[in-house]
Chain A
């Protein structure tokens, strides 16, 4: 699949932002006043910035409000509802923390749940697609949620929790890669089933419908950079998990913590790029490609 920068930015930044909002909603840290303001500003900057970035890949962003109508069938529509609900509830809760020094625990808990539900709906947009076997697994929501929680704990300064969650997220990432590498073969979809010509013999794509690329080949059959996938996986794992874990084990300083956050962010970017670039859509079979 084509790794659109707007979608990678969106899933990375808003995943991290909603992860931080979840920890803030649970009162970790339970700071008030200007300190709380800084935390909430970072969380909203990431979450809203990511959501805004996602509208850049729309053909008609001026019609985006229509996306709230089909929540009964569409995960994208559900994501729109849940993200707005999370931002509103956490806004109210955050206002209490910043301006009144109040910790309305039930509201914070609700906001935390909605923040994580937003990440879940985002992941379900990809998980639901049977056409992309690498994404079509329960491991995808686990991947998105553990990344969001690990990044959120890191940003919230919850060092002990972050250590555990970073390890869990790394394990989820590893499991997702291992399963994903055999997913297309296991799906059972082949050129023979795509064309129905299997009973006659072994089909081979002989001539494409046209000499140039088209929307389908540009959008679904992205092969650039797959050659370096293994190296990029190593880079992602080191930046997103190994580097922050090492930095967190050193004596605490704000500089090192910032470095851990930046490393994690860069690693998640690389991982998310691979999430799209490595994903093969079954329509590629019709073009004799993967």
Chain B
């Protein structure tokens, strides 16, 4: 059913901390691993060891440079996957009912047996969260590891999405964003969590925590500079001979002469 539910009982989603992410791509690898070996069609690669490799990923990490008005530029690593939007445009455009948003937890899923591979949902998504698998010809997207989070066969600490479980810097958090008292909701409130492309009205469930302000120095000098000043202006011994010998060829010298 591609009509969106009026409301969902929970809003399961991710909170991604742009201040903490180190851009290691471990979430990308663990996502690809888990979702290739478990639910649904595997995430295929085309020409993986050849000249033009490409493949299906449900999570990709971009890197952006941000130049403030004053001070040095910042580099920000930016993991991007499905945001499980409340007003998901990808679901309503689906002609077959393969795409749907679950009432019980708000996860946006694709029933691959119903997908005709028309690609319209990928066009409707502003975030590039959906990718057509070139081998299976069905639409793939983040399932929020629906086969992990409710899986009683896994130890309790593993019942979170693979990307969250693997993140070495603790930049990814999983929980119910519909519950204002949940850890993730409090984190969003404390750190000013934001939506991506809010102007498109998709109402994403996933939130991004902006990078914290960088420390600034009062003075414009390097505090270590006095200790790093050169201690020998004139090279002596072997280095002095080398300097003079090379100087006869290129006309330059390091020393005073």
Q: Least Cβ distance of A254 to chain B in Å?
A: 40
Q: Assess whether A201 is in contact with B66, with CB atoms less than 8 Å apart.
A: yes
Cross-interface CB contact of A76 among B60, B120, B197, B211, cutoff 8 Å: B120
Interface size for chain A: under 10, 10 to 19, 20 to 34, or 35 or more residues? 35 or more
A253 CB within 8 Å of chain B: no
List A contacts of B98 (CB < 8 A): 66
Q: Least Cβ distance of A123 to chain B in Å?
A: 14
Q: Least Cβ distance of A186 to chain B in Å?
A: 11
Q: Assess whether A196 is in contact with B122, with CB atoms less than 8 Å apart.
A: no
Q: Assess whether B28 is in contact with A197, with CB atoms less than 8 Å apart.
A: no
List A contacts of B128 (CB < 8 A): 216, 220, 283, 286
Cross-interface CB contact of B118 among A1, A73, A76, A214, cutoff 8 Å: A76
Interface string of B207-238 (1 = CB under 8 A from A): 01011000000000000000000000000000
List B contacts of A105 (CB < 8 A): none
A74-B93, A286-B80 known; A199+B197 contact, CB < 8 A: no
Q: Least Cβ distance of A97 to chain B in Å?
A: 33
> Chain B at the A interface: mostly helix, strand, loop or mixed?
loop
B106 CB within 8 Å of chain A: no
Interface size for chain B: under 10, 10 to 19, 20 to 34, or 35 or more residues? 35 or more
Considering the complex, give the chain A residue whose CB is closest to the CB of B207: A196
Q: Assess whether B137 is in contact with A202, with CB atoms less than 8 Å apart.
A: no
Cross-interface CB contact of A125 among B28, B92, B120, cutoff 8 Å: B120
Of the candidate stretches B48-56, B152-160, B240-248, the one touching chain A is B48-56
Interface string of B87-98 (1 = CB under 8 A from A): 001011111111
A73-B2, A283-B128 known; A60+B117 contact, CB < 8 A: yes
Interface string of A62-82 (1 = CB under 8 A from B): 011011111011111100100
Q: Assess whether A214 is in contact with B131, with CB atoms less than 8 Å apart.
A: yes
Of the candidate stretches B69-77, B142-150, B179-187, the one touching chain A is B69-77
List A contacts of B73 (CB < 8 A): 201
Instruction: Give the most central of B55, B66, B119: most A CB within 10 Å.
Output: B66
Considering the complex, give the chain B residue whose CB is closest to the CB of A130: B200
Cross-interface CB contact of B89 among A66, A70, A130, cutoff 8 Å: A130
A225 CB within 8 Å of chain B: no
A131-B126, A201-B69, A204-B67 known; A213+B54 contact, CB < 8 A: yes
A204-B67, A214-B54 known; A196+B195 contact, CB < 8 A: yes
Pull 12 A–B residue pairs with CB atoms less than 8 Å apart, ordered by A: A58-B117, A60-B116, A74-B92, A75-B93, A193-B199, A195-B76, A196-B194, A197-B64, A209-B62, A216-B122, A283-B125, A283-B126
Using a CB–CB cutoff of 8 Å, the interface residues on chain B facing chain A are 1-4, 18, 25, 28, 52-57, 60-69, 73-76, 78, 80, 89, 91-98, 114-120, 122-128, 131-132, 134, 136-138, 194-201, 208, 210-211
Using a CB–CB cutoff of 8 Å, the interface residues on chain A facing chain B are 1, 57-61, 63-64, 66-70, 72-77, 80, 125, 128-132, 187-189, 191, 193-197, 199-210, 212-216, 219-220, 281-283, 286-287
